[in-house]
């Protein structure tokens, strides 16, 4: 008699645990009739070197803003921007939109772009208006803004 109660109790416990797991799992996992959703996340790492981003160092490409960890990552990005944008988007990163309007840049550090006048965060020189599409880049500019 004790053995039967142990079997019934053990079986009940096992069914309870399995039912609980299925309930928890169904809310978080997509089944065949449910659409998987990837939650958007902000960019926190550099797509080139993987370091923490510095929001004052970025490049705009096709309306998207990509941040870097250091000035040295800009030239690598410029060689193949689609590769790095795809890498970030495949990781679920939602890139900031590049602002419309005039940008300001440093003539010595053209990868520095800001939406308003100010000082370069690297050398503290005054920022100058960045060239518009089709304009010549300022002296020393590598032209980090892509369209």
pLDDT in the model for residue 41 = 92
Answer whether 57's CB lies under 8 Å from 111's CB: yes
Per-residue model confidence (pLDDT) at position 69: 95
Position 135 scores a pLDDT of 41
pLDDT at 49: 95
Strand pairing report for 104-105 and 128-129:
antiparallel
Could you state, in chain order, the average pLDDT of each consecutive group of 10 residues for the chain (147 residues)? 56 50 44 52 95 91 90 91 95 88 86 85 90 47 43
pLDDT score at 116: 79
Distant-in-sequence, close-in-space partners of 67: CB < 8 Å, separation ≥ 6: 43, 46, 53, 54, 55, 57, 58, 96
At 8, give phi and psi (nearest 5°). -65, -45
Specify the pLDDT at position 104: 86
């Amino acid at each position: 008699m004790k053995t039967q109660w142990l079997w019934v109790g053990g079986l009940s416990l096992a069914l309870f645990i399995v039912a609980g797991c299925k309930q928890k799992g169904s809310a978080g996992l997509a089944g065949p009739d449910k659409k998987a959703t990837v939650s958007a996340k902000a960019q926190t790492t550099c797509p080139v070197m993987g370091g923490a981003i510095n929001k004052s160092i970025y490049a705009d490409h096709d309306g998207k803003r990509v941040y870097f960890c250091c000035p040295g990552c800009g030239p690598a990005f410029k060689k193949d921007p689609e590769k790095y944008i795809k890498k970030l988007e495949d990781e679920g990163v939602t890139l900031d939109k590049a602002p419309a309007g005039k940008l300001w840049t440093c003539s010595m550090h053209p990868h520095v772009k800001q939406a308003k006048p100010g000082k370069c965060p690297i050398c503290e020189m005054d920022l100058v208006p960045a060239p518009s599409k089709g304009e010549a880049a300022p002296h020393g500019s590598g032209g980090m803004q892509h369209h």
